[in-house]
A and B are shown apart, each in its own frame.
Chain A
């Protein structure tokens, strides 16, 4: 009899545990900000000066002028040095400032600027900028800064970039879920973000 009791308690406990786990399994998906670490760059590049509003002294340069590969590649890319020099060789007013001087030192030496990575995804993740830019900027005609800002935050308030969003799988899925529900345990034939192989290499 005691054996039976023990067994029942065990089973009940097990089911309760499984049940409670099931309750906690559906974790809240967040779109809240999650600041990444401060990353010091070799040159403290002022996004605010370049991309910022004219009212605040910015030049309102389109993100994709520099991060030009976003519309046609997996990665948005860091502009090659020639892009910076392309403008700055004619901007006398800032030619002797410390950051620009450093920039030209790299250029003279033909050395690439050793920019550090700010937005990183694990090596087993496949993220395609092209598809997102094609949808938001070209198909849905959202303004570029808004589209880039969904994931990268309001860059024009920063000098060097700093990660603003979690960039976690759950966070990505939360956006993909807006129109089509994503089921964490479904093994059905899937489309888009339900298809593990879309993002996992």
Chain B
């Protein structure tokens, strides 16, 4: 890693002989005679740049919102591979597959390379100067209140500049949209613990009961939770942690559970209250009001309602009673219903009466710079934007980091709705579905080429500020960073304030140096401080955290009985979030398409997952093409029979079925977002992702499902390949 200081001009120079213009010799064996062999030739170079030896630069991964620190291995001016930054408390040097694919997002052949202005059905290349001028005109001529920004989650200095720009133009329309986000859980946590994302200590728990929170795969900060999970399994004094997963469709976390409990969809809250009742019977003391609220949740009733056997409820109760502290969390499965908030509240209540608050649930560190703290997104925000558009209130719309035309349910009619906005600007990496509807597409730098600061929503230990620095020169001269664009736009509005900054880098360095006192560098020279910040990649902030407020109360808790079946639409659809595809933003990275889904091992396609009983009822086998139809649309997919799913549900993964974006994503699989029913959580107004009712009918010829199961189909056939033993037999404390 870097130990010497250097300034930015040297930095970019030493990165090499023009990243974009390095012409590589062909993949075959060329020779001197061909004239296609090159030597690396520099003008000036730092002494730590040694040809054929990689130099590592720290930055921050932008593939999801967890904000893991990364180190990029850079050779001859190009980034080759990413590793985790050992100094980041979030991921401690580890990386997930999504993060590894960051280089494919960067080198992607389908990236937009220059600003495009709509002319009929085509996009014509224009200069940035013209593009920004056009933006200026449109914004100036519009009523300030009619200019809107639609973004994904934002944090750091880009958030500051965005807010400043909105202030400068006199608009407060900033809509933050995340297609897949733990919004209901955030709200429930706020009610129960006083904070949206308390700090969870899986590594301190002896038992973790997760109601559908896929913390090893996709939930909140999977790499960080995986680190904790490793400690959890090793346990304290060799007492291995026990994981129980309760959900209607198995996630990768469920696949790692000691016990996976299939639960009737929507009844997670009932089970939680039933467990409280059983715990009271086993001797646990709870506030009288809580006891009164749960007294009707008897074993038989709960077992009947949820489908979880009395035996398992009993064993789970005993486990929670005997092994303390535990940790009970709610995730996607629990929150995806019209009563999702109630489910989440019941689960939080269980966690509280077990006395876990202060032991495995702690207050998160607070962000000492709230202006940089992340704004998180949800669907209600998109709905609000849609409503405003319907009332003709939005004349200019900027879109960055959100793809609503792809991920909003068909009932929102985003594509039609957007047509009502006279001028739409999309900041994009790809010509995705939303960019295709725009009037002006402005190409962004990839995260490997950009400067920035990122504040993650979930702090691992204390508060931290993640640094993003370019790992190489821009691949395409026509792209710009979001920070640079915002700065240019701000210069149009507030020249006196911003003209002093040559570019976003200058602004960022200035802003960081200005607060160096709070970042631990008060006695340091500005440049030395800045270089050390870049070198570390993560700045740990001193922050305080208030103790968690947590009073177990069942007030307002009202769980509906298990939902009745709908005759026409007998099955429920669970749109699954898979570790590789997430909300579909990485569908154009071939490594991720080729990386088999951990549960089904299917590649390069989506599927319709169902229980053998359901398949038998429908008369389908693996590979049959079926149509999954809800009231709001229909998609087709190949059947995959799987016993890790409740017979009342089927599951289709999200993230597939792109109609645009790029060569690896277009036409691959089906888009499950589209057919979601417009049912909303009663308390937060969030889209209830698991409330969609569907019917499934055979629709086509059988295909061979392309998967990576191997010829034995996940069966060891008596050979001792993957072995398993009872945890009681082993003394983990004696292991290395």
A–B touch (CB < 8 A): the answer is: yes
Q: Does B514 contact A (CB under 8 A)?
A: no
Q: Known contacts A73-B50, A73-B52, A73-B53; is A117 also within 8 Å of B39 by CB?
A: yes
- Chain B residues closer than 8 Å to A80, beta-carbon distance: 41-45
B43 and A69 within 8 A (CB)? no
In the docked arrangement, what's the CA distance between A123 and B29, Å?
A: 6
Binds A, one of B30-38, B126-134, B292-300: B30-38
Contacts of B35 in A (CB 8 A): 116
Partner of B32, one of A36, A75, A81, A107: A36
The minimal Cβ–Cβ distance linking B75 to chain A, given in whole angstroms, is 11
Residues of B within 8 A of A117 (CB): 32, 37-39
Q: Is the CB of A74 within 8 A of B32?
A: no
In the assembled complex, which residues on chain B have CB atoms less than 8 Å from the CB atom of A82? 43-45
- At the interface, yes or no: B17 with Cβ under 8 Å from chain A? yes
CB neighbours (8 Å) of A116 from chain B are 32, 35, 37-39
CB of A111 closer than 8 Å to a CB of B: yes
* A112 contact set on B, CB distance < 8 A: 17, 41-43
| Neighbour of B41 across the interface among A69, A107, A113, CB < 8 A | A113
Are A81's CB and B38's CB within 8 A? no
Partner of B29, one of A69, A72, A113, A122: A122
Cβ A81 vs Cβ B42 within 8 A: yes
Within A46-85, the residues touching B (CB, 8 Å) are 69, 72-75, 77-78, 80-82
A69 to B53, CA, bound (A): 10
Q: Please state if A74 and B52 are interface contacts (CB–CB under 8 Å).
A: yes
In whole angstroms, what is the CA distance A107 to B25 when docked?
26
Residues of chain A contacted by B33 (CB below 8 angstroms): 37
Q: How far is the CA of A72 from the CA of B41 in the complex (A)?
A: 18
Which residue of B has the minimal Cβ distance to A80? Answer: B42
**B residues less than 8 Å from A138 (CB atoms):** none
CA distance A55 to B499 in the complex (A): 61
Tell me the chain A residues, 99-151 only, with Cβ under 8 Å from chain B.
106-107, 110-118, 120, 122-124
Complex contact A77–B40 (CB within 8 A): yes
CB distance from A64 to the nearest CB of B (A): 13
Give the docked Cα–Cα distance between A2 and B51 (Å). 68
Interface size class of B (residues with CB under 8 A): 20 to 34
Give the residue of A36, A37, A77, A111 whose beta carbon is less than 8 angstroms from that of B51: A77
Which B residues are in CB contact (< 8 Å) with A15?
none
A118 and chain B: residue at smallest CB distance: B32
**Residues of chain A contacted by B43 (CB below 8 angstroms):** 80-82, 106-107, 110-112
Contacting residues, chain A, for B51 (C-beta < 8 A): 69, 73, 75, 77
Asked whether B39 lies within 8 Å of A69 as measured between CB atoms, the reply is: no
A107 to B42, CA, bound (A): 11
Is A39 engaged at the interface, CB distance under 8 Å to the other chain? Answer: yes
- Inter-chain contacts of A114 with B (CB < 8 A): 41
Docked complex Cα distance between A37 and B35 (Å): 11
Output the least CB separation between B32 and chain A (Å). Answer: 5
Chain B contacts with A in 19-73, Cβ cutoff 8 A: 25, 29, 31-33, 35, 37-45, 50-53
User: Which of A69, A77, A82, A107 has the most chain B CB atoms closer than 10 A to its own CB?
Assistant: A77
| Shortest CB distance B334–A (Å) | 51
Do A78 and B40 contact each other (CB < 8 Å), given the known contacts A72-B50, A73-B53?
Answer: yes
Q: How far is the CB of B24 from chain A (nearest CB, A)?
A: 10
- A117–B35 Cα distance when bound, in Å, is 8
Q: How far is the CA of A124 from the CA of B27 in the complex (A)?
A: 11
Q: Is B41 touching A115 in the complex (CB atoms < 8 A)?
A: yes
B41 adjacent to A39 (CB under 8 Å): no
* Separation of A75 and B31 alpha carbons in the complex (Å): 17
Residues of B within 8 A of A74 (CB): 52-53
A168 to B619, CA, bound (A): 66
Residue of A nearest to B13 (CB): A110
Closest chain B residue, CB of each to CB of A123: B29
A37 CB, nearest partner CB in chain B, Å: 6
Instruction: Tell me which residues across on chain B come within 8 A of A110, comparing CB atoms.
Output: 13, 43
Interface flags, A152-170, vs B, CB<8A=1, else 0: 0000000000010000000
CB distance from A44 to the nearest CB of B (A): 16
Known contacts A39-B32, A74-B52, A75-B51: A120-B44 contact under CB 8 Å: no
Cβ contacts under 8 Å, A39 to chain B = 32
| Residue on B nearest A112 in the bound complex, by CB | B41
Give A176 Cβ to nearest chain B Cβ, in Å. 21
Q: How far is the CB of A73 from chain B (nearest CB, A)?
A: 5
User: How far apart sit A144 and B320, CA to CA, in the bound complex (Å)?
Assistant: 73
- Among residues of B, the one whose C-beta sits closest to the C-beta of A124 is B29
Smallest CB separation, B7 vs chain A (Å): 15
Contact partner of B50 among A69, A107, A115, CB < 8 A? A69
Q: How far, in angstroms, from A113 to B40 measured CA to CA in the complex?
A: 10
Q: Cβ of B52: which chain A residues have Cβ within 8 Å of it?
A: 69, 73-75
Q: How far is the CB of A113 from chain B (nearest CB, A)?
A: 6
- B45–A120 CB distance below 8 A: no
Would A115 and B39 count as touching, CB distance under 8 A?
A: yes
Nearest residue, chain A, Cβ from B41: A112
CA distance in complex: A41, B470 (Å) = 33
> Who on chain A is nearest to B47 by CB?
A68
A-contacting residues, B521-535, CB 8 Å: none
Q: Which residues of B contact A163 (CB under 8 A)?
A: 32
Q: How far is the CA of A69 from the CA of B17 in the complex (A)?
A: 18
In the complex, what residues of A have CB within 8 A of residue B37's CB?
A: 116-117, 120
Closest to B49 in A: A80
In the assembly, what is the distance between CA of A110 and CA of B13, in Å? 9
Bound complex: CA A106 to CA B17 (Å)? 13
Q: How far is the CB of B218 from chain A (nearest CB, A)?
A: 36
Contact present for B40 and A81 (CB under 8 Å): no
Chain A: CB-nearest residue to B32: A120
A124 to B29, CA, bound (A): 8
Q: How far is the CA of A73 from the CA of B37 in the complex (A)?
A: 19
With A and B bound together, what is the CA distance between A115 and B42 in angstroms? Answer: 10
Least CB distance from B34 to A in Å reads 9
Residue in A69, A74, A110, A112 with the greatest tally of chain B CB atoms within 10 Å: A112
Shortest CB-to-CB span from B349 to chain A, Å, is 59
Complex Cα distance, B655 from A178, in Å, reads: 61
By a CB distance below 8 angstroms, the chain B residues around A113 are 41
Q: Closest chain B residue to A76 by CB distance?
A: B51
List, sorted by A's number, 22 A–B pairs whose CB atoms are closer than 8 Å.
Answer: A37-B33, A72-B50, A74-B53, A75-B51, A75-B52, A77-B51, A80-B44, A80-B45, A81-B42, A81-B43, A82-B43, A82-B44, A106-B43, A115-B39, A116-B32, A116-B38, A117-B32, A117-B37, A118-B32, A120-B32, A122-B29, A123-B29
Please give me the 5 A-B residue pairs with the lowest Cβ-Cβ distance, nearest first. A80-B42, A112-B41, A74-B52, A117-B37, A82-B44
